[in-house]
């Protein structure tokens, strides 16, 4: 089979849906072969939807016309020509989506799940932690109520960002508010539920350390991206000052990046994202680095259902698997409608065993939500869970965009 076409497809939330900016768009990658077979991949968005979509078209030039069995050679050729690849999330994200789709096609052709192509699964189920559950929570009791609901649904691990509108620096009032939120959640769910503290990589080192010391008493399982990415060398200081393990990885793009962070003692738990760090091809290299260092792996998984399906295939074979991120419990209906074939129940994913990714993409839903929308911005930053930075008014509809260039445009 030859790779006939590589098509990036943007799908987006309906115009009247109120959602977080980062969750408003999804980039799917559809790879079609000369005999009509189709494989699916996904690339991340987060305020770079259109740059990533256009990068997929650049990557496509290296794949289209080749035999499917040569997809690895196509990846290595792109690697040679892509001058900024190791520092360009647009390039690696596009490459990831195409690589995932090629593995999906090969698995379907061979009648085997991708986990078999990666050496065979060593687990059939994985424990998940819930994220996104705390939308529209600002007061401690709001966090507590939503946390209890997640625990009632079966989750025994919850990740959340308690820092509200604090950015770079951390005021005494901001720290006190964060402590109150975490204390409320810990009291609500008890000690047997893992709490995972998300910093979103936005604090200067001094502020991050103050927050870490203050939150240590609640025994989080990890603290994620405590300092801004430009100052990650300061993580050594953070790890000396704070007892809770450090997790990161969604902004790292290559196996060499992960190895460097581990070798320099800057991280405890790795969080690669299969949709921006080279799909399954580079994913195997990153898993090897983690295994060599004995580093736990908790894949970042914050975008769409094809990403989840691909990530689960990696989870099945990881020797140092730790936890799996899940937003599924907080997804809007449009995102749920895109894919069938995997499920989460009582806080655990069953890993699909059907060929390829083990899922079926509903192409009618894809067409229904096909979009040219530019990522919305404001009043909250694009990484914020909606309603946790500023209070939203019920029934007021989505916040208005700040300029004409951000207005949704649909085909």
3-state secondary structure labels for all residues of 305-368: HHHHHHHHHHHCCCCCECCEEECHHHCCHHHHCCEECCEEECCEEECCCCCECCCEECHHHHHH
Among 187, 200, 219, 293, the active-site one is: 200
Report yes or no: 390 and 164 within 8 Å, Cβ to Cβ.
no
Residue 404 confidence class, pLDDT cut points 50, 70, 90: very low
Instruction: For residues 313 and 357, give the distance between their C-alpha atoms in angstroms, rounded to a whole number.
Output: 7
The Cα-based distances of 180 to 142, 170, 212 in angstroms read 11, 15, 14
**Structure tokens that stand for 141 in this block:** 């009791």
Report yes or no: 78 and 97 within 8 Å, Cβ to Cβ.
no
Start-to-end Cα distance in the chain: 32
Instruction: For residues 342 and 29, give the distance between their C-alpha atoms in angstroms, rounded to a whole number.
Output: 19
Active site residue 300: yes
Instruction: For residues 129 and 57, give the distance between their C-alpha atoms in angstroms, rounded to a whole number.
Output: 34
**pLDDT tens, position by position, 278-293:** 999 999 999 999 999 9
Instruction: For residues 373 and 386, give the distance between their C-alpha atoms in angstroms, rounded to a whole number.
Output: 18
Report yes or no: 67 and 77 within 8 Å, Cβ to Cβ.
no
Question: Other CB atoms closer than 10 Å to residue 285's CB: what's the count?
Answer: 16
Instruction: For residues 234 and 226, give the distance between their C-alpha atoms in angstroms, rounded to a whole number.
Output: 10
Backbone angles phi, psi at 221, to 5 degrees: -75, -35
**pLDDT tens, position by position, 171-230:** 999 999 999 999 999 999 999 999 999 999 999 999 999 999 999 999 999 999 999 999
Report yes or no: 338 and 11 within 8 Å, Cβ to Cβ.
yes
Instruction: For residues 324 and 349, give the distance between their C-alpha atoms in angstroms, rounded to a whole number.
Output: 9
Residue with tokens 């704070």: 242
In whole numbers, what is the pLDDT of the chain averaged over residues?
93
Instruction: For residues 184 and 139, give the distance between their C-alpha atoms in angstroms, rounded to a whole number.
Output: 9
**Structure tokens that stand for 129 in this block:** 């932690």
DSSP code per residue over 237-261: HHHHH--SPEEE-TT--SHHHHHHH
Report strand pairing: 194-198 vs 157-160. Answer: parallel
**pLDDT tens, position by position, 344-394:** 999 999 999 999 999 999 999 999 999 998 887 778 888 899 899 988 765
Mean pLDDT in residue range 294-306: 97
Report the largest interatomic distance among the alpha carbons of the chain, rounded to a whole angstrom.
63
Q: Which CATH number fits domain 116-353: 3.40.50.970, 3.40.50.300, 3.20.20.120, 3.20.20.70?
A: 3.20.20.120
Is the preceding peptide bond at 379 cis, omega within 30 degrees of 0? Answer: yes
Mean pLDDT in residue range 156-168: 97
Give me the residue spans of the domains in the chain. 3-113+366-406, 116-353
Active site residue 72: no
Residue 409 confidence class, pLDDT cut points 50, 70, 90: very low
Instruction: For residues 312 and 314, give the distance between their C-alpha atoms in angstroms, rounded to a whole number.
Output: 5
State residue 201's pLDDT score.
Answer: 97
State residue 376's pLDDT score.
Answer: 78
Instruction: For residues 205 and 108, give the distance between their C-alpha atoms in angstroms, rounded to a whole number.
Output: 48
Q: Would you state the CATH architecture of domain 3-113+366-406?
A: 2-Layer Sandwich (3.30)
State residue 81's pLDDT score.
Answer: 96
State residue 18's pLDDT score.
Answer: 66
């Amino acid at each position: 089979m030859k790779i006939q076409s590589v098509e990036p497809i943007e799908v987006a939330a309906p115009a009247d849906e109120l959602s977080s900016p980062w969750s408003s768009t999804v980039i799917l990658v559809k790879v079609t072969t000369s005999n009509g077979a189709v494989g699916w991949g996904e690339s991340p968005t987060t305020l770079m939807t259109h740059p990533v979509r256009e990068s997929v078209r650049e990557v496509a030039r290296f794949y289209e016309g080749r035999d499917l069995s040569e997809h690895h050679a196509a990846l290595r050729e792109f690697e040679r020509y892509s001058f900024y690849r190791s520092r360009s999330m647009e390039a690696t994200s596009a490459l990831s989506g195409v690589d995932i789709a090629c593995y999906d096609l090969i698995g379907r052709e061979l009648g085997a799940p991708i986990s078999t192509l990666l050496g065979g699964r060593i687990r059939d189920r994985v424990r998940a932690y819930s994220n996104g559950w705390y939308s529209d929570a600002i007061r401690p009791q709001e966090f507590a109520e939503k946390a209890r609901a997640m625990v009632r649904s079966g989750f025994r691990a919850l990740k959340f960002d308690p820092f509200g509108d604090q950015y770079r620096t951390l005021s005494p009032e901001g720290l006190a508010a964060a402590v109150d939120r975490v204390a409320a959640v810990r009291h609500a769910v008890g000690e047997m539920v893992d709490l995972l503290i998300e910093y979103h990589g936005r604090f200067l080192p001094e502020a991050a350390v103050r927050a870490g010391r203050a939150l240590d008493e609640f025994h989080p399982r990890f603290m994620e991206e405590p300092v801004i990415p430009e100052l990650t060398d300061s993580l050594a200081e953070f790890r000396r000052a704070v007892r809770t393990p450090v997790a990161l990885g969604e902004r790292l793009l290559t196996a060499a990046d992960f190895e460097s962070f581990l070798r320099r003692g800057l991280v405890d738990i790795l969080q690669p994202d299969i949709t921006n760090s080279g799909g399954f091809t580079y994913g195997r290299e990153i898993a090897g680095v983690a295994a060599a260092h004995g580093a736990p792996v908790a894949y970042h998984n914050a975008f769409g259902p094809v990403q989840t399906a691909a990530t689960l295939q990696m989870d099945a074979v990881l020797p140092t698997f730790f936890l799996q991120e899940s937003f599924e419990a907080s997804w809007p209906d449009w995102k749920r409608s895109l894919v069938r074939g995997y499920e989460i129940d009582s806080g655990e994913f069953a890993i699909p065993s059907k060929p390829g990714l083990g899922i079926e993409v509903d192409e009618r839903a894809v067409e229904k939500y096909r979009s040219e929308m530019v990522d919305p911005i404001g009043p909250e930053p694009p990484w914020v869970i909606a309603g946790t930075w500023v209070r939203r008014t019920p029934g007021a509809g989505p916040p208005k965009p700040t300029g004409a260039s951000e207005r949704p445009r649909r085909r």
